[in-house]
Amino acid sequence: MPARCQQGRDKNKISERQESYETYQYFGQTAWWKGSQSADTGTFHNVHKGKDVIGMKVKNVANEDLGKVDNLMLNLPAGRVVFAILNPDSSLNLGNNLYALPPNALTLSSDQKNLVSDLSKDKLASAPHFAKNQWENLSDPSFPSRVYQYYGKQAYFETGGALRPTGRTETEEKTYPNKQN
């Protein structure tokens, strides 16, 4: 390739990057590729070893024990954690069941010793679950879809990218107010 053509391509790449950077600046945002610090300083927030998460206590926002993380379910080809499997605390009287939680339904507590969720006992009791000795076919998309929808979380594996409303079935009639002109 002639040097002139290569220089033209390099200038186009630079102008595209500059335009993207200026767009981020216009909206008062830091361009994702710039970061707030150099790559060798700071921390990569909210990234944890699986072995540290397994066994971690899960509490609700009222600081009540919900249980412990029994396992993490991975989608290896997508490189994603699909579920954190919750083994509920015996005080909740939820039987011999496990509960699949979307990972984004959990946050690290301020002391970084527990996970926190906005779940109540009643919400957890109604959640999709399975017996400890009868693991669901977790690769069947209907179970993960039910779980993510129940918790009101967008599943990364669903196509279309549109958020689906929760608490409503597809067969319900939708009504809209009359538009006023």
Convert the pLDDT of each residue in 97-122 to its tens digit. Answer: 999 999 999 998 988 899 999 999 99
What pLDDT sits at residue 178? Answer: 56
What pLDDT sits at residue 23? Answer: 75
Q: Angle at the Cα of 133 (from 130 to 134), degrees rounded to 5?
A: 50
Arithmetic mean of pLDDT over the chain: 77
Strands 115-117 and 80-88: unpaired
Is residue 71 within 8 A of residue 82, CB to CB? The reply is: no
Residue with tokens 């150099």: 38
User: Is the C-alpha dihedral spanning 26, 32, 33, 36 positive or negative?
Assistant: positive
Convert the pLDDT of each residue in 16-58 to its tens digit. Answer: 656 766 776 777 776 655 655 544 444 456 678 889 999 999 9
Residue 146 has pLDDT above 60, yes or no: yes
Structure token pair of residue 82: 């699909």
d(CA 172, CA 45): 41
Task: Report the predicted TM-score, pTM, of the whole model to 2 decimal places.
Answer: 0.63
